[in-house]
Structure formats: structure tokens, C-alpha cells
Amino acid sequence: MLSKGLIKLVNSLKHKKYRQQHGLFVAEGHKMIGDLIKIGSPIKTIISAQNINMNGAFEFVQCKSGELDKISSLKTSQDMIALVKIPEYQYKEEAILDKLSLALDSVQDPGNMGTIIRIANWFGINNILCSFDCVDIYNPKVVQASMGALMKVKVHYLDLCKTIEQLAKNTGYEIYGTFMETDSIYELELLPRGLIVMGSEGHGISTKIEKLITKKIAIPSFAAEFGGAESLNVAVATGIIVSEFARQKQELRN
Amino acid sequence: MLSKGLIKLVNSLKHKKYRQQHGLFVAEGHKMIGDLIKIGSPIKTIISAQNINMNGAFEFVQCKSGELDKISSLKTSQDMIALVKIPEYQYKEEAILDKLSLALDSVQDPGNMGTIIRIANWFGINNILCSFDCVDIYNPKVVQASMGALMKVKVHYLDLCKTIEQLAKNTGYEIYGTFMETDSIYELELLPRGLIVMGSEGHGISTKIEKLITKKIAIPSFAAEFGGAESLNVAVATGIIVSEFARQKQELRN
């Protein structure tokens, strides 16, 4: 049976303030938790109604059937909940030099954030720079959408404007910004060294960040013939753009 | 004030059976509904607490403030709800000849389905073939995620296996199937005439459909150096693949 203290702790972790205070976040479901263990994530506690057979240096708490409903963040609670230690790392300019990185300006939808972290992981992008108003990556919905990729990619919350300014000044980095209508990614030369800035779906890249963009890029639309298309989902747009950078990098090598 | 009959009708439309029976689906929010009107969607009724100023041949029902909560499908109800007539169209093999189309095998997540419809619209793909167990596109979550694109793209629910078999036999169409590890889309020649099959995130393309694939394709992963990546979200994968088809088509033309 779950203690009142544990129930209170797990429920408090639905809020960013308490996640930061305890240095913990929640992951749910044996698939997700198994993946986290496989990649060596620092797990503190696993809670499940079934006696589990998983190796690792964590505390196991067996609860009663149905008790997970009291602490789950999901509509349909899974078979297992883990408390995972939030990894600590800091943004260092040196770490992103000569690499391609992503910057997110006010991306607030948790599903999109999780999906973008998966994209970064897939394409070997190690660092994502986020404006302070982006959704917290340890939000339960981001955790579920990121499928474990959030332990492999470093996501930094920082003053995005100031960071980009310094980066451009110190390194001569190309700052790519994604807009609706401008030069096509298929026709531009995209270098495997730089920063790709993605804006929010509702408002795009903010005016003060737009001023720092050194190369504007767009995904061309082919929809004109039947009434035009409004927009692409921001995670899909990120995937398409990052893929085109990867393709051009590979073409350069060959 | 809303009549009991109207409350009952709108709430019944949360279920596929009643959507089909009434030939109606629900869209929420002035942004979405404005877009639907702009593209000439057949709107039957608009319900709002505010007196609205929109032109069109539809019935307007003014409700009391807060009443939309009783009928909304969203967690936070919007300012406006519309009942929209489900467009009627049929799958015709002739209509997809010499074009690129998408096929979805058991894509059940509503957010992914809506996002894929937006991708199709953006890249000028007019037809999506869906297996019967794909999520219904008039499900409220698909409607919201598709952002109006579902009125511009034709989505056909059919026996996917049989349809692909006939298509291949009658037309010599290339049937592209997306898999985790096989030849890279960056290196294959992708023709602007054919069918791209996407499987579900959990299970990929089903065995019986896999047998009909004439060309297997994959998005290469660049994550190997830090522990590998599990997978990409199916909507993101669709976006990346369709974008590469579009790029190669444009390259051919130039």
C-alpha cells in the first residue's frame, strides 16, 4: 500500500516547482521505464502493483491494484510509475561549437516538445536551447511524448535572445530561422554547423529573436492549387528541416 | 439558451456512430471555424454566447455564457462550436493515378491523424487511404489537430490490403513502405507517382500489407553515437518522407 507521504510526493511532481525542489520527475508505464533503465537513467523509486523483475539500484514499492490511479498523470494509468532523478548539466558554448543545435522560442505544447526531443535524438542533435517560457521538459506529458529521448538530449532553459547574441558574436555561427514564406530549404545550402530557431505555432519567432537570424529558411508549400495550407505542426516542421540538414551533410560527405 | 435536443445532438456527435447517422461533425473555436468558413465548408449551425458577425448560410444559436462547457469535447471549451456537414466523396482509382498518395495502416492516435492530414494538404497530396481501424477523421481531437485541412484532403476508409493489391495490379504503381532500417530515402530515387504506406507507431506496417510493398524506405538515424534512438513519431516520419518526395520532384523539374 502507498503511504500518504509517497502519494503526496508523486502528486506534487505534477508541478514544476516541486520537481525542481525534489530533483525528480515521473515516468509511467513498463515500456517507457524499461527504456529509461536500458539507457542507464538514474531511477530512485519504482511503484507497481505487480512484483517486478527489473535490475537496478532503485527502491521498489509494491502498491495495491488500482492505487496508481491516485497518482497517475495520465487519463488511463499504466502498470508502473517511476520517480527519476533529474539529470544536472549546464549550457556551455564550447559544447555546441562545430555542431548543429536547435533553439525553441516559446514552444509551449508538451506533445510538440516531447516529439522535438525525439527528433533531436534521432538526428544526433545533442543540445536544444529553450526560451524560459517553453514548456518544462519534465512535465509528465513531455516525458511520455519524448519516449526516453529526454535523457539523451540536453535541453537548456536560458535567456534565448542574449545567448544567441553571444553565440553569433563569439563564433560567427549561422543562425537559421524558420519562417512561413522565404527561401526554400531545398534550394539553400544548409551547413552542419549552426543553430536552427523554431518559433511557436501560434506566433512564430518573436521580433527580438528575428533580428538575430542570419539566414531565413522555409519549407515550401505545394498546396496552392487547392486553397492553400495554413501551416505545419511545429514538430513536423522541425523534423523536415533537421532531416534536410542531415541529407545535405551526407551529400557533402559523399 | 440551448435546447435539450441540441445539447443531446452535439454530445452524441462525440461518437462515430452518431456522426455517421447525422452526417455532422463538431468543430470548436472561432479560429478553426473561421478557417472552415473561409474555405467554403458546409456549416449547419454555429453556437456561441457572443452574437457573432460571420457571413454564411448557417443557423446561429446564441447560448448562455458557460453553456458551451456542457457540449465541448475539449478540456477548456472555446468561444464557439460549429456543426459541420460531413462531405461525401468516394475512392476512385482514376483520381489517384499519376499522383502521390498516402496510405495509413492502423494509425489510431487522433493527434497524429490530424497532423498527417495537415502534412498531406501542405504537400499537395489529395488522397489518404486508411485501413478500417484507423481513427475516424471526424473525431473531435482529429478535427482540432487537422486545423481545417480535413476539408481539403480526401480520406478514404477501405480494405487497405485489397485496395493496394488492385492498385498495384491495375497501374503498376510503386508501393513505398516505411520501415525502421532499410534503404535511405536520401539515396533512393523517389517518384512523384505512387503510394507511401505508413504503419502504426507501436507495430509498424502489418505483415499482410508488408507483402505488397514494392520499395522499402527508411529515414536514416544519426543517433548511434549516443545510445541509439527508439523511433520517430509517425506524423513526423510522414512529414520527413513526403518532404523528400517533394524535394526530389522539384529537383527533377529544375
Looking at residue B147, its pLDDT comes to 86
pLDDT band at B241 (very low <50, low <70, confident <90, very high): very high
Distance between CA atoms of residues A214 and B240, nearest Å: 24
Which cell numbers hold the place of A6?
A: 509517497
R_g of chain A, CA atoms, integer Å: 20
Is residue B53 over pLDDT 80? Answer: no
Partner-chain contact B124 A247, CB within 8 Å: no
pLDDT band at A108 (very low <50, low <70, confident <90, very high): very high
- Residue A223 DSSP SS3: coil
By C-alpha distance, the chain B residue nearest A123 is: B222
Closest CA to B127 of B116, B135, B142: B116
Is the Cβ of A149 closer than 8 Å to some Cβ of chain B?
yes
Is the Cβ of B149 closer than 8 Å to some Cβ of chain A?
yes
User: pLDDT tens digit string along A156-195?
Assistant: 999 999 999 999 998 888 999 999 888 999 999 999 899 9
Which cell numbers hold the place of A15?
A: 508541478
Q: Calculate the CA dihedral of residues B88, B89, B90, B91 and round it to 10 degrees.
A: -140
Of B240 and B79, the structure prediction assigns the larger pLDDT to: B240
Residues of chain B contacting A95 with CB distance shorter than 8 Å: none
DSSP structural state of residue A184: B
Looking at residue A226, its pLDDT comes to 52
Partner-chain contact A222 B246, CB within 8 Å: yes
Q: Which domains does chain A have, with CATH numbers?
A: 4-85 (3.30.1330.30), 93-253 (3.40.1280.10)
Partner-chain contact A239 B244, CB within 8 Å: no
User: Degrees (nearest 5) of the Cα angle A116, B176, B148?
Assistant: 50
Of B118, B152, B232, the CB nearest to A119: B232
Distances (CA, A) of B76 to A19, A144, A221, B29, B68: 25, 22, 32, 11, 10
* Phi, psi (degrees; rounded to nearest 5) at A118: -60, -40
Q: Which residues contact A69 (CB under 8 A, 6 or more apart)?
A: A77
B:79-108 residues touching chain A, CB 8 A cutoff: none
Is the Cβ of A231 closer than 8 Å to some Cβ of chain B?
yes
Is residue B228 over pLDDT 80? Answer: no
Q: Which residues contact B9 (CB under 8 A, 6 or more apart)?
A: B22, B83
Residues of chain A contacting B226 with CB distance shorter than 8 Å: 124, 126, 152
Distance between CA atoms of residues B48 and B68, nearest Å: 8
Beta bridge partners of B204: B200
Looking at residue B180, its pLDDT comes to 83
Burial B53-85 (b: 16+ CB within 10 A, else e): eeeeebeebebeeebbeebbbeeebbebbbbbe
Q: How many CB pairs under 8 A join A and B?
A: 126
Find the distance separating the first CA and the last CA of chain A, reported in whole Å.
60
CB-based contact A129:A163 (threshold 8 Å): yes
- Residue B82 DSSP SS3: strand
Is the Cβ of A227 closer than 8 Å to some Cβ of chain B?
yes
Residue with cell 505544447: A109
Distance between CA atoms of residues A106 and A50, nearest Å: 40
Partner-chain contact A121 B149, CB within 8 Å: no
Partner-chain contact B186 A115, CB within 8 Å: no
For an interface test with A, which of B154, B240, B252 has the most A Cβ atoms less than 10 Å from its Cβ? B240
Which cell numbers hold the place of B59?
A: 443557423
Looking at residue A172, its pLDDT comes to 84
Of B111, B222, B235, the CB nearest to A246: B222
By C-alpha distance, the chain A residue nearest B125 is: A223
Distance between CA atoms of residues B168 and B151, nearest Å: 28
Q: Which of A187-191, A230-234, B94-98, B226-230 has the highest mean pLDDT?
A: A187-191
Crossing angle, helix A110-122 and helix A234-253, to 10 degrees? 10
pTM for this structure?
Answer: 0.93
Residue B173: Cβ within 10 Å count: 22
